[in-house]
Structure 1
Amino acid sequence: MKDLNIPGTQSTPAITADPARGLLTMRGDSYPENSFELFGPVIEWVESYLLGASAPLNLELELLYMNTSSIKSMMDIFDVLESAHGKGRQVGVTWFYDMRNERVGELAEEFKEDCTFPFSVIGRQ
């Protein structure tokens, strides 16, 4: 299983995957011109990890802003996690957000409502 390391830019989050720890992280703003180009390799990595490893997979998010196409891509990732969870895989999401940014907290809570796997939304000062 290969690592995934996509450096962040002004309009895209830093995305890192550590298969040895079963951890995928995304931090920053997400409003790329082409979200499929950004998130396609991430979705492929998640699918490969879940097929090739039996260890849990945890997704840590600290996203400050997401445009509509990024939200759609995140839904696709959560769908993959939901499917794996339905097959007995241990998966989970922890979404950290700045408590001054209520919209991101509300968005995370909306995602959480649609997921049956462990999903934590944690506000920070």
Structure 2
Amino acid sequence: MNELLINSTQSSPEIRGDWENGILYMKGDSYPENSYELYSDVVAWVSRFLKETSSPLTLELSLVYLNTSSIKVMMDIFDEMEEMHQTDRQVSVKWFYDEDNERVAELAEEFKEDCSFPFDIIGG
């Protein structure tokens, strides 16, 4: 099972993993009661993709709000991507945000500071 689909809820984002194209999409708010439970399949999907393929991986994020535990999970994913980038693996992030929501842009900037791989923050 290489595809990943987690439907959005009021407190969790829509998540789609496109194995063939090496893209992980996340869109919406992320403040679930148990972030680790929600994201365990996502973290496993990213790890498996990075271990089993040599294809580039891109995260396309349109996250509006993240609670503290969601931020921690994202940090874990970015840390794994950073490790792979250090071995010349192609990984990148494209974080889309609404220009009326500066808090999301600031959060994305904080993540970007810790990453040496391509990390684009795109307002719209």
For structure 2, which runs of at least 5 residues remain unmatched after alignment? Answer: none
C-alpha separation in 2, matches of 1:2 and 1:22:
10
Q: What is the CA-CA distance between 1:87 and the residue it aligns to?
A: 1.1
Alignment of 1:89 onto 2:89: yes
Alignment of 1:88-107 (within 5 A): 88-107=88-107
Q: What is the CA-CA distance between 1:40 and the residue it aligns to?
A: 1.1
TM-score by length of 2: 0.98
Kindly report the root-mean-square deviation, in angstroms, between the aligned alpha carbons of the 2 structures: 0.7
Q: Alpha-carbon deviations, 1:84-117, whole Å to 9, x = none?
A: 1011110000000000000000000110011000
C-alpha separation in 1, matches of 2:2 and 2:101:
34
Identity %: 60
Runs of 4+ in 1 over 6 A off after TM superposition: none
Aligned to 1:26: 26
For structure 1, which runs of at least 5 residues remain unmatched after alignment? Answer: none
Paired residue total = 124
Q: What is the CA-CA distance between 1:24 and the residue it aligns to?
A: 0.3
C-alpha separation in 2, matches of 1:63 and 1:74:
11
